[in-house]
Amino acid sequence: MKRFAALYDRLDRTTATNAKLAALVDYFRQAPAADAAWAVRFLTGRRFKRLVNTRELREWTVAASGLPPWLVEDSYEHVGDLAETMHLLLPDAQQDQPTPTLHALIKQQIQPLRQLDDEARQQRVTELWSSLSGSERFLLNKILTGGFRVGVSKRLVTRALAEVAGVDSSLIAHRLMGRWQATPDFFQRLIAPASDDDLDQATPYPFFLASPLEDEPETLGEAGEWQAEWKWDGIRAQLIRRGGQTFIWSRGEELMEGRFPEIEAAAETLPDGSVLDGEIMAWRDGQPLPFAVLQKRIGRKKPGPKTLQTAPVAFLAYDCLEQDAEDLRDQPLRERMTALDQVLHKACGLHRSECIAFDDWQALPELKAQSRERGVEGIMLKHLASPYQVGRKRGDWWKWKVEPYTFDGVLIYAQPGHGRRSGLFTDYTFAVHDGNELVPVAKAYSGLTQAEIDRLDRWIRNHTRERFGPVRSVEPVHVFELAFEGIQASPRHKSGIAMRFPRIHRWREDLTVADADRLDDLKKLLPDTQR
Amino acid sequence: MKKGLLYPDAGGLYCPAGDFWIDPLKPVPRAIITHAHADHARSGNAEVFAATPGIPVLDHRVGGADALSACDYGQPFELGQARVTLFPAGHILGSATVRIETGDGIWGVSGDFKRAPDPTCAPFEPFACDTWLTECTFGLPVYRWQDTTEVIDEIIDWWQGCRDQQRPAVLFCYALGKAQRVLAELHGRAEGPVWLHGAMQPLTDCYRAQGLDLIETRPVSAAEKGYRFAGDLIMAPPSAAGSPWMRRFPKHGSGFVSGWMRIRGNRRRRGYDRGFVLSDHADWPALIQTAQDMGARRVITIHGNGEALSGFLREQGIDSEAWNLRQTLRQA
Ligand SMILES: [Zn+2]
Ligand SMILES: [Zn+2]
């Protein structure tokens, strides 16, 4: 734990990427594999099952600090991060206690919490609090609360591991995909030299991500070297058929077992050793259904026959990463498209995301303008010679999205943000006019500059009308322009509508509350069927 | 709100018995100014009373030397029907708390104060009063300060780390008080010179002129053109962060000295490499300890969000409430 805390301190005490990289490399070289495996797990942001709930942690903090519960809550609201709040409120630890290793702490102290009764758990955690000091205790709290954002990206951890292992970082990224346990064995394999058979059947390839196209497509060069596709508004997924088994991975590296039985059934017809990249869409009769339909399937572990009937899905394949158990990622897109056709030809029930035929760049804007009608987000542009790369690498894959809708809304509620924005009021709720009322229509927490956030935070503190827990209602004064991707009818919301991806475009200090938009106008944007 | 010896009005905190304001928010005929920080000292008052050691800095900050009356700590003087005494607040050089006595009782008023030792100013001196008006800048239990020596050790270690890499170490802190406190703490513990931003130079001169021992300093403007400050310590106010002035310090490491650095998010948002938790204000335990030391039956919080402190004191059986002076001014 000492070593891990020292790593954390080094990472936390610099804003320079190279210094962070050096700290990670040093740690992975020196730490025992058993500890390093857990460090990889936490630093790459893998979720750690929470063994204690936050209510208990707050109660135990009240008990250990001797402070009244409301003061612990006020402190939490001020700090914004529970792990840190607890750390700052608890009495200083007793000095010179032996510190367990990271691995021992988790195996012997934290994981056994699951089997203990409430009283014993409180006692165990309270003892840990009084025996660990400084960053060690802060990190313990981070592990207990299940969240681990410490200012390093997964990509940086991958780079450090690649340097330690002496292999390409895309191989490390691949080894970090999918299912794995934080064991010494796993860490050894992670930093082993390149070999053929070190990957599990279920391991997906790292996704290649497109970058937003900011200029006109003409700037990309010869139109004939590019492939255009519709940009689907679904769930990006990787479909794996290996060893007679099917695995569907989301981009968030979640295994979506059992959630999409119709796709799994179709995947059984794939030749063994096939891996496809594509999109899960709500789909009927060759047409996309609104995202709201897909939402009925998200999070549903075992959909019943009724859901399958009302919210059917399909897999739209647009790339082939593996054919006949051979990794095709280094092949140009052109070749992979041929492979995709061959693979899909042998299967049934899986769809091909068709390419858009276009002769020159001039034809594209008009096609893009049809996006909303077609239920897509815009157009993808992929270079026909592009390999399938790892992560977001600019140059070969671009997404050219339709302009978002915008509206002007009034700030009516604010609450403190978390993580990097902790302690500041950064989560806002915006309203529009409905008769004489202001009804909330969107929540947003991004889009302002740090200076604007600071200024708004001060204003909110001085103009609070009422408090509801961490939420404050404020005087309706400030108007913001918000962008969003679409609108759906929603009986759960007072306004009757739900917005997709609302975000702040800019602070309209030139507008007054009277200038804000009306609900009726927003409702005009609802799809015809929902109006 | 019960009217007492003092109450908030359009000018700030007003004492009718003595017809004066404490740290007025706008110009008034007669003012007591607790110290020279901008949120307490403003110009334009006809008559100003302040603690003797604070006069040079106050004169430098707000001017109006003719209107300034120097008051020695612990020496009572009469203003109207009120008997006023200034006591050391331990906040910055020449900072004061105010004791006001009338036939109706004794009130104590803090500007800002701290209880931690500070080589640049006289230590806080408690006195008995009926009602204590306390600042409450860090009025939550998450604010607990570590020993100053530990923090100075951290600063020196960090500076040494930058020196090992031949990088400039730029330390941000408030130009009045904190900067000189750090310079005094470094005196005898580290090797100068420390380079100063222009905003810090005259204030530091004020401190030196009063006989305080500070580590050797030099204005950044005195450095030769093209000098790269490798391994040097530079001190600057937070407003200099991100300004073109910073280009003088290629590849620098940055640190900020402030009580706010206790919270990780505050440091990360500002983008400093390091946060050093050193404050010229009382932390939570010191706010409570001081309320007890003053023996007051009633405690009123001013300056800062005092709801938590006053709520906590009420639970301890002390009559307590929070005043928001700025709010009062806006409504008036
Ligand atoms: Zn002050
Ligand atoms: Zn102040």
Q: Per residue in B156-191, pLDDT tens?
A: 999 999 999 999 999 999 999 999 999 999 999 999
Closest by Cα among A482, A403, A405 to A441: A482
Query: CA of A252: how far to CAs of A171, A204, A206, A211, A481, in Å?
Result: 18, 11, 10, 17, 30
Q: What is the edge-to-edge ordering of all strands in the sheet holding B194-196?
A: B217-219, B194-196, B233-236, B169-172, B253-257, B274-276
pLDDT tens digit sequence for B207-243: 999 999 999 999 999 999 999 999 999 999 999 988 8
Q: Tell me the CATH architecture of domain A208-401.
A: 2-Layer Sandwich (3.30)
The residue whose two tokens read 């403003």 is: B42
Fold of A2-145: DNA ligase i, domain 1 (1.10.3260)
Assess A75–B contact: CB distance below 8 Å, yes or no.
Answer: yes
Q: With 70 as the cut, is the pLDDT of residue A395 above it?
A: yes
Q: Residue A1 corresponds to which tokens in the numbers above? A: 């734990």
Q: What letter does residue A384 receive in the DSSP assignment?
A: T
Q: Check CB contact under 8 Å for B141 and A67.
A: yes
**Does this chain's domain A208-401 share its CATH topology with A405-530?**
no
Return d(Cα B260, Cα A311) in angstroms, integer: 51
How do residues A237-250 score in pLDDT, each as one tens digit?
A: 999 999 899 999 98
CB of B315 less than 8 A from some CB of A: yes
Q: Which amino acid is at B57?
A: V
A15·B273 Cβ contact <8 A: yes
Q: Does B311 touch chain A (CB under 8 A)?
A: yes
Mutate to test the interface with B, among A17, A74, A462 (most CBs of B within 10 A): A74
Q: Backbone phi, then psi, for B13, in 5-degree steps?
A: -100, 115
pLDDT band at B1 (very low <50, low <70, confident <90, very high): very low
Q: Which residues of A touch B265 (CB under 8 A)?
A: 79-81, 84, 419-424
pLDDT in tens, A94-118: 877 788 999 999 999 999 998 999 9
In chain A, what are the domain boundaries? 2-145, 208-401, 405-530
What's the fold here for domain B148-276? Rossmann fold (3.40.50)
Question: Quick check: B141 and A423 CB within 8 A?
Answer: no
0.80 cut: is pTM over it?
no
Q: Do A13 and B274 touch (CB under 8 A)?
A: yes
Phi-psi region for residue A422, left (φ > 0), alpha (ψ -120 to 50) or beta? Answer: beta
Q: Which residues of A touch B253 (CB under 8 A)?
A: 14
Q: Which residue has the higher pLDDT, A291 or B117?
A: B117
ipTM comes to 0.93
The class level of CATH for A405-530 reads mainly beta
How far apart (Å, rounded) are the C-alpha atoms in residues A466 and A473?
5
Residues in chain B with CB shorter than 8 Å from the CB of A78 are: 140, 142, 263
Say if B113 is an interface residue toward chain A (CB within 8 Å). no
Confidence of residue B332 (pLDDT cuts 50, 70, 90): very low
CB < 8 Å to B305, chain A = 461
Cα of B244 to nearest chain A Cα, Å? 18
> Alpha-carbon distance A318 to A321, whole Å?
10
Query: Would you call A224 exposed, middle or buried from its count of C-beta atoms within 10 A (0-12, 13-18, 19+)?
Result: exposed
Residue holding tokens 């492939």?
Answer: A227
CB atoms within 10 A of CB A199: 16
What SS3 class is residue A58?
helix
Confidence label for A196 from pLDDT (cuts 50, 70 and 90): low
Question: Given CB atoms, is A462 within the 8 Å cutoff of chain B?
Answer: yes
Q: Which of B266, B269, B307 is nearest residue A450 as measured by Cβ atoms?
A: B269
Q: What is the pLDDT of residues A472-531, one digit of tens each?
A: 899 898 999 998 888 888 888 889 999 888 999 888 887 888 888 999 888 888 876 665
The CATH class of the B7-142+281-331 domain is alpha beta
| Nearest of A406, A434, A413 to residue A508 by alpha carbon | A406
In the prediction, which pLDDT does A530 show?
A: 62
Averaged pLDDT score across all residues of chain A: 89
A497 to A159, A473, A493: CA distances (angstroms): 44, 21, 6
Phi, psi of B7 (to 5 degrees): -150, 155
| Residues forming a β-bridge with B310 | none
C-alpha dihedral (A193, A197, A198, A203), degrees to nearest 10: 130
CA distance B201 to B215: 13
